[in-house]
Amino acid sequence: MIRMQPSVENTQTIADSDAVAVERTLAGDRDAFRVLVERHSHNVFRLAYRMTRNRPDAEEVVQEAFLRAYQKLGKFEARANFGTWVYRIAANYAIDRMRQRKKEEARKVEPAVHEEGTENDPVTLIHDAAPTPERLTQNIELRKRMEIALAALSHSERTAFVMRHWEGCAIEEIAQVLESSSGAAKNTVFRAVQKLRLALQPFVGRGTQARAMGTES
């Protein structure tokens, strides 16, 4: 899991300081909310990017998440963790955004006449972007496959996978976002990993395996 895990003491200090900022915001000090935005924006961006898989949408999710958090701050329980709470709001909005995006794309894309044999090849659906440093990977083909495999997951599966595998969220947090039971959230994580495995295992080379196991020198 990639989520940065701050020390327990650090987490507690941040949470205490967040609680003070929330109280001050509720008392009418808007600048106190600025502290919260500046403190949590990076984490929320990372989650949003992993879910939406594109930067403009991720940035929109971040802004909307903080706007919604501000509007709903009266409902925030003082005992809760602001970081986790805004995370949840962002994940919910990212799901909405993904749905919306799918609809927009369906409207834009006319049913294309495919060349014979390419219709079902998902690689043809990926747009080749300019090779910015971000987009450069050692294995372009594998990267494309990974993007396709992630895009092929349902919104719930992608949310569950991103939140669990990359963000290290508790199953209960994921269940709340998916509005399901913990058991169902767990199953969604399994399903996501199974689908990703099915799609990617044939393309995962020995080099990657070695790296994954930490055996490559």
Partner 1 sequence: MKHMTEEELIAYREGVAAAQRAVIAQHLAACEECRAELERIEAVLAALDTLPVPNPGDDYGRHVWQQIAPRLPERPARWWQEWFEPKRLGTLAAVAVLLVVAFLAGRITKRNHPGNDVATKEQIRERVLVVAVGEHLGRSEMMLVELANAEPLDPKQKRVDISAEQHRAEDLLEENRLYRQTALKEGDASLASVLDDLERVFLDVAHSPEEVTPAQLEKIRQKIEARGILFKVRVVGRELQERQKATTPAPAQKDSMKSERNKV
Nearer to partner 1, 72 or 118 (CB): 72
Min. distance of Cβ 63 from partner 1 in angstroms? 5
- Within 8 A by CB and 6+ apart from 173, the residues are 84, 87, 88, 163
| Least spacing, CB of residue 3 vs partner 1, in Å | 11
Closest distance between partner 1 and the C-beta of residue 146, in Å?
A: 6
The residue with tokens 């390419």 is 118
Find the shortest distance in angstroms from Cβ 37 to partner 1.
5
Radius of gyration (C-alpha) of the chain in whole angstroms: 20
State in angstroms the smallest separation of the CB of 8 from partner 1.
17
Residue 206: count of CB within 10 angstroms of its CB: 8
Q: Which residues bind partner 1 (CB under 8 A)?
A: 1-2, 25-26, 28, 30, 33-34, 37-42, 45-46, 49-50, 55, 59, 62-63, 66-67, 70-75, 99, 102-103, 106, 134, 137-138, 142-143, 146-147, 150, 154-156, 164-166, 171, 178-180, 184, 186, 189-190, 193-194, 196-197, 200-201, 204, 208-209, 211-213
Per-residue CA distances from 92 to 26, 37, 109, 141 (Å): 23, 18, 26, 31
- Write the burial class of residue 35 (CB in 10 Å: 0-12 exposed, 13-18 middle, 19+ buried): middle
Closest CB 168 distance from partner 1, rounded Å: 8
Q: Which is nearer to partner 1, 50 or 88 (CB)?
A: 50
